[in-house]
């Protein structure tokens, strides 16, 4: 069987982390975590993955919710080894995560700023609201979504297949 490689973010974007804007989304370290990959069909495409912290350790949902009860956001290793932002509301994980890649030129978006109520890209100033919807360019699109499921206290990320709830239906 093939080992699935996930890339785990080496820098936390928790408020006050001091992450320099020059650190792009590729500032990751390859970590072999084949045992935490979700279902892998014969084609080799990953259906879902267990969210991991920056050390490559699977994130425990109940612990995450307790530590992020105030609505603080943070990064986890997710689909395709890319960094994703997990969100909590009222102490519970949201049913979606945001890919932490600006849709303008692919920079790693900054941490959520609760005062401004925005994620801000440090490269060119694009802004996204808490749902990842773009509110100020030059980014052309909202941040990509991933589905979040909690099973046996593990957090699984999978491709977003539903319509984008942030887009207007009018």
pLDDT per residue over 45-55, tens digit each? Answer: 558 999 999 89
**Count of domains observed in the chain:** 1
- Is residue 75 situated within a structural domain? yes
Who has greater pLDDT, 56 or 41? 56
Residue 43: is its pLDDT beyond 70?
no
CA distances from 16 to 12, 19, 43, 48, 108 (A): 10, 8, 41, 31, 16
CATH number at residue 126: 2.102.10.10
The 10s digit of each residue's pLDDT in 92-137 is 899 999 999 999 988 999 888 888 899 999 999 999 999 999 999 8
- Is residue 117 situated within a structural domain? yes
Rounded to whole angstroms, the Cα distance separating 125 from 102 reads 10
Residue 33: is its pLDDT beyond 60?
no
Rounded to whole angstroms, the Cα distance separating 170 from 161 reads 20
- Is residue 163 situated within a structural domain? no
- Is residue 115 situated within a structural domain? yes
Tell me which residue range forms the domain holding 135: 5-156
The mean pLDDT of the chain is 75
Residue 169: is its pLDDT beyond 50?
yes
Residue 29 contacts residue 7 (beta carbons within 8 Å): yes
Residue 156 φ then ψ, to 5°: -110, 135
- Is residue 169 situated within a structural domain? no
Q: Which of the four pLDDT bands, split at 50, 70 and 90, describes residue 61? A: very high
Q: Give strand pairing partners of 154.
A: 60, 151
């Amino acid at each position: 069987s093939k080992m699935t490689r996930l890339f785990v973010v080496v820098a936390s974007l928790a408020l006050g982390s001091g992450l320099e804007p020059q650190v792009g989304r590729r500032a990751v370290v390859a970590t072999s975590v084949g045992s935490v990959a979700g279902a892998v069909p014969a084609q080799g495409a990953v259906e879902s993955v267990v969210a991991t912290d920056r050390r490559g350790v699977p994130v425990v949902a109940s612990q995450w919710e307790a530590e992020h009860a105030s609505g603080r956001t943070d990064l986890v290793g997710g689909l395709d080894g890319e960094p994703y932002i997990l969100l909590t509301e009222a102490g519970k994980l949201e049913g979606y995560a945001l890919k932490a890649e600006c849709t303008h030129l692919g920079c790693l978006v900054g941490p959520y700023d609760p005062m401004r109520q925005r994620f801000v890209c440090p490269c060119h100033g694009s802004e996204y609201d808490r749902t990842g919807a773009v509110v100020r360019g030059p980014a052309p699109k909202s941040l990509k979504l991933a589905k979040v499921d909690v099973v046996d206290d593990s957090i699984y990320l999978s491709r977003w297949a539903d319509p984008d709830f942030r887009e207007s239906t009018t």
